């Protein structure tokens, strides 16, 4: 078994891009994926559940996809909100390359793909969507969420999908306890084995 994780910075396997057919914002498209990243064969089930919660995507401003993989969330946001700027971040270089290629393929010029440390320091987000990397462990996961969620603009919302048996309810409690005052987390959906948590900065 390979010791490679989907969250490795530099996947050990050779880069062999392949095409898969998926639906992005209701459009049938073909995108590139590869081994060594998260869910390379199809849109992950949890991500698919999250993508049903795009009705509140703000039409403009800066939006963030934390942990973009090959880009299903960032591409959907960018297609849905062509006047918004979508920031797609990941630590896995192959994921960044594939999201860049997929945005270009779909003609989505409003996607900025970069490493987390390349996001401008003073940027606030009108919305954050994520299928967060639960498997990095609690300490790292909490640090990722503490880095990005407090950067929601006043009144802005974040939608997170977490599998029930991978700690969705304990993460919900942690968010309620640890995010700054004014942030409120509620469960807005349970579908299949997933929960959708909505974090709002009430200002």
Interaction of residue 97 with ligand SAM, rule CB under 6 A: no
Among 22, 36, 38, 81, binds ligand SAM (CB under 6 A): 38
Nearer to ligand SAM by C-beta: 24 or 68?
Answer: 68
Backbone angles phi, psi at 178, to 5 degrees: -110, -20
For residues 15-25, one letter each, b for 16 or more C-beta atoms within 10 angstroms of the residue's C-beta and e for the rest, the string is: eeeeeeebebb
Q: 3-state DSSP call for residue 185?
A: strand
Give the nearest residue (CB) to ligand SAM: 67
Among 72, 86, 119, 201, binds ligand SAM (CB under 6 A): 72
Strands (E) in the chain, as ranges, are 18-24, 27-33, 60-66, 83-89, 111-114, 125-130, 152-163, 183-191, 194-201
Q: What residues between 105 and 124 interact with ligand SAM by CB under 6 A? A: 116
Interaction of residue 68 with ligand SAM, rule CB under 6 A: yes
Which stretches of the chain bind ligand SAM, using CB under 6 A? 6-7, 38-39, 44, 47, 66-69, 72-73, 89-92, 95, 116, 131, 133, 136, 144
């Amino acid at each position: 078994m390979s010791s490679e994780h989907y969250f490795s910075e530099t996947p050990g396997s050779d880069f062999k891009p392949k095409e898969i057919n998926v639906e992005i914002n209701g459009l049938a498209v073909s995108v590139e994926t590869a081994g060594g990243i998260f869910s390379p064969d199809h849109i992950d089930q949890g991500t698919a559940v999250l993508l049903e919660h795009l009705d509140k995507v703000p039409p403009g401003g800066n939006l963030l996809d934390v942990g973009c993989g090959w880009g299903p969330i960032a591409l959907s946001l960018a297609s849905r909100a062509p006047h918004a700027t979508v920031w797609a971040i990941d630590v896995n270089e192959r994921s960044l390359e594939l999201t860049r290629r997929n945005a270009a393929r779909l003609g989505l010029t409003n996607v900025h793909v970069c490493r987390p440390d390349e996001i401008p320091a003073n940027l606030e987000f009108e919305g954050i969507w994520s299928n967060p990397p639960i498997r990095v462990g609690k300490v790292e996961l909490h640090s990722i969420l503490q880095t990005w969620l407090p950067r929601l603009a006043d009144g802005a919302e974040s939608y997170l999908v977490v599998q029930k048996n991978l700690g969705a309810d304990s993460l919900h409690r942690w968010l309620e306890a640890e995010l700054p005052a004014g942030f409120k987390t509620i469960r807005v959906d349970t579908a299949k084995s997933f929960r959708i948590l909505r974090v709002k900065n009430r200002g």
